[in-house]
A and B are shown apart, each in its own frame.
Chain A
Amino acid sequence: MRDTSRPLPFARAAGGVFDLTLDGLVWSRRTFWMAALLGLPVVFGVLYRMVLASRLPPQLQPFDLYGTIVVFYYLRNLVPLAALFYASALVADEVEAKTLTYLLTRPVTRGAILVGKFAAYLVTVLCVTLPAVVLTFFIVLTGGGSHSVSAAVPDLFRDLAVLAAGLLVYGALFTLLGVALRRPILPGLLFLFVWELLANLPGYLPRLTVTAYLRSLVTHRPAEEGIGELFGQVLPASLCLEMLAGMTVVFLGAAIWIFSTREYVFDQ
């Protein structure tokens, strides 16, 4: 028997929104292009194994190359960009398509709607990102023999966890931007490519960024990481985990609060 005196239980409502959103996200054009971008290192890895490995200087070890791809390509650029383009659109796409009304006229709380959508985002980007990293790892490192691969596997798991944390915290941040701002992409890009540069400065400024915490969790730090390395800005792992968890909770909580109190009808 349905209890019509209160909204649907949170998990049940979020589950319904999750399934509905996941279906739309997985088969979207956005996912196609994002998968293509995230898969580029796989293509590069194949190219490296077939052509470049024999021509590059011997100092450039496969593991260094893999580390550079993880830190610069995925962690610094593609993961935040994927989060920006997916998470900021979770509500904006519904507003633009004028379909948000259907969700807002169901007996479900707005918090459940947003959490369901966020979960769908996270599953989609994890499913697109992590396999690409795993493939890149094996393609690049198997050139150095099976011994080097097995020795580096713990680093792979750590990288996957850090990338997942990046998708989580950046996703929460850009979900917040998406519900708070009408046009979140430009502020998001400014945050990623201007504000996040603070991570390379000395003192306490890196602690005001997201990337400093994520980068500090990656153990195989390429020497070419930038001037941040000169200042030794590697933050303690426990602090990084606490800060990343705290930021996720704060960003997502603020996003739920704004989404729950804002009128969207006239944006539609």
Chain B
Amino acid sequence: MSEAAIEFRRASRWYGQVIALNDVTTTISPGVTGLLGPNGAGKSTLLKLAAGQLAPSQGEVTILGQAAWGSPEIFHRVGLCPEPDAFWDGLTGRQFLLALLRLTGYDEAERRARADQALALVDLEDAAGRKVGGYSKGMRQRLKLAQALAHEPEVLLLDEPLSGMDPVSRRRVMDLVKKLGREGKTVVVSSHILHEIESMTRRVLLIHNGRILAAGDSRELRDLMDEHPHTVSLRARDPRALARSVVSSPHVLSLAFGSEGEWVTVQTARPDEFYSALPEAAIEAGVLEMYSPDEDLESVFKYLVAR
């Protein structure tokens, strides 16, 4: 078992009456860890505590063996990609990196080399001489990532790093994160989208309402989701025929007609079997459209909390 790079010991954080993180005890080891939770779950608070930007109201948070709060020296070995889309817009991409590398203690020659290397990693070499104020959202995201990577930290904390990126950049960043994890770096990446996290790692920390609900393999989460009663909405030319066809299935828990008449909403305890049986019914009733609102992570969390 590898040594924990980040450790939360009974850590809580509240703002006035609001609890943002509640009695969290967990460790994060080298490799990529996905921090998964809906908006407002406490992901950013957890990352800010780990990055020493907030002090725990109670408990302890350590990173690389040192208290995260009040230890600026850890930033020789830690990189943070913050969520806000904020820059000194008057600087060029290269100047931005050079200024921050100077504050990380590198001499001029090494600053230049590292800045160029980081810009290449995020595919921004061509835009390096342009002012950041003129960058697109995706380019700004990549520049934020570059500043977190430029000093080759052992621990990388990435707060929603894929937000606003185009599909090609997303793919590239996902590959980069996986590569860093394989190299033995500790990468914590937050997202509210399971699919994004699964593309980078199987190791997830599930967070909801300031609590760690589960820590483990993302496949277990998938299994939980599959056990979770699924709601499926179907639009059909003949909704009554569809209802007759599916209601006989032993796995259907409930069935309701939508207000517009064309929609049928079915709740099933065995989604796999339901989906297997669906094509036949769909042909008979002429299913035009289908979606599962349960793919929304929030509903899965509600389900997990209620268990």
Contact = CB atoms under 8 A, between A and B. Distances in A.
Q: Do A and B bind each other?
A: yes
Nearest to B55: A263
A16 B72 contact: no
Interface in B183-238: none
A84 B78 CA distance: 36
A107 B78 CA distance: 9
Interface in A99-117: 99, 101-110
B106 interface: yes
Interface string A209-245: 0000000000000000000000000000000000000
Nearest to B75: A107
A7 B73 contact: yes
Contact of A263 (B53, B104, B106): B53
A220 to B, nearest CB: 42
Interface string A19-41: 11001100100000000000000
Interface string B44-64: 000010011111000000000
Contact of B102 (A4, A5, A16): A16
B53 A4 contact: no
Contacts, number: 84
A147 B236 CA distance: 101
A16 B86 CA distance: 20
Contacts of A97: 86, 88
A13 interface: yes
B147 interface: yes
Given A8-B103, A107-B104, A27 B73 contact: no
Contacts of B147: 102
**Most chain B beta-carbon contacts within 10 A, residue among A5, A16, A24:** A16
A7 B88 contact: no
B74 interface: yes
A19 B103 CA distance: 11
Nearest to B69: A263
Interface string B14-44: 0100000000000000000000000000000
A220 B147 CA distance: 54
B265 to A, nearest CB: 40
A2 B106 contact: yes
A5 B72 CA distance: 10
Interface residues of A, number: 33
A6 B15 contact: no
A20 B82 CA distance: 20
A231 B83 CA distance: 59
Contact of B72 (A12, A107, A264, A268): A107
B291 interface: no
Nearest to B20: A266
B100 interface: yes
A108 to B, nearest CB: 6
A30 B99 CA distance: 23
A72 B54 CA distance: 45
A107 B53 contact: no
Contacts of A98: 82, 84, 86
A17 interface: yes
A223 to B, nearest CB: 47
Contacts of A107: 72-76, 103-105
A99 B88 contact: yes
A106 to B, nearest CB: 4
B150 to A, nearest CB: 11
A106 B88 contact: no
Contacts of B15: 266
Contact of B103 (A6, A16, A268): A16
A265 interface: yes
B303 interface: no
Nearest to A264: B53
A106 B86 contact: no
A6 B48 CA distance: 21
B9 interface: no
6 contacts: A7-B73, A16-B102, A27-B90, A101-B80, A102-B147, A108-B103
